[in-house]
Amino acid sequence: MQLKKEQEYIIKYSDRKTINISVERDKTIIVRAPKNVTSEKIQAIVESKRLWLYKKINHTQKYNDTIPAKEFVSGASVMYLGRDYRLEVTDAYDSGIIFNNKFIISKSLQSKANELFKQWFIERAKEIIPNKIQHYASLLGVAYNKILVSNVKYRWGSCTPKNNLNFNWRLIKAPIHVIDYVIVHELAHLLEGNHTQKFWNIVSVQLPNYQKSKEWLKENGDLLEMDF
């Protein structure tokens, strides 16, 4: 099975010691490799993974491009930390989102609801995620550089060669155990670059039930991508 032209890969060289292959959510194949590895060796490794890559690229849930937008009306639900909360549109004026076991927004702000919810969720993500990173980094005994919580494209989290941690703000919609899993997953890469047995052992020590979180993300990731 040959990779089609549009499925060719991008090589990113760094000071890492091992080769890692990943498929982004836009179906781009990224090969992260040490600077001294030849293109021929990389090609051979990619070819050996062609069946795995084919399955990844054709994963219908992960690459769903037809995500509908939410209608912000009373009675609609908004997912936050893994739970669906009712949305109430009120005639009373308020300058933003109110959360009190339900979401409340002024009728006068309905047209701006998507952007207001995005801002509110980003703020919550920036409060919760860094605190959890600090907690698990201490348990793992690892040091990181910078934390970025933003609209990371095509993945929930990443760890760069410079030990910077990037997280998608949309994670704040997921259950806490899923957020913990993504954070521990990326921190574990500071100890083991690839998804080896050693890597998963590191994750399982912190999160013995990580498979449950991994499966939740696989099955419900498209819900996090929706506009609330």
Q: Look at the chain and report how many structural domains it folds into.
A: 2
The model's pTM is: 0.71
Which residues, other chains included, contact 31 with Cβ-Cβ below 8 Å and sequence gap of 6+? Answer: 9, 10, 11, 12, 19, 20, 21, 42, 45, 46
Domain-embedded: residue 193:
yes
- Tokens coding 155: 């993945």
Asked whether residue 66 carries a pLDDT value surpassing 90, the answer given is no
User: Same domain for 44 and 126?
Assistant: no
pLDDT, residue 2, reads: 38
**pLDDT, mean of residues 82-93:** 88
**What is the domain range of residue 37?**
5-57
| Tens-place pLDDT, residues 177-227 | 999 999 999 999 999 888 889 999 999 999 999 999 998 988 888 778 776
Element (H, E) at 179: helix 176-188
Domain-embedded: residue 63:
no
Domain-embedded: residue 67:
no
User: Same domain for 121 and 216?
Assistant: yes
CATH number, position 156: 3.30.2010.10
- Which of 25, 42, 57 is the endpoint of a domain? 57
Domain-embedded: residue 177:
yes
| Tens-place pLDDT, residues 2-50 | 344 335 888 888 877 788 888 776 678 888 888 888 888 888 888 888 8
Which residues, other chains included, contact 212 with Cβ-Cβ below 8 Å and sequence gap of 6+? Answer: 177
- Which of 37, 57, 77 is the endpoint of a domain? 57
User: Same domain for 32 and 133?
Assistant: no
Which residues, other chains included, contact 51 with Cβ-Cβ below 8 Å and sequence gap of 6+? Answer: 1
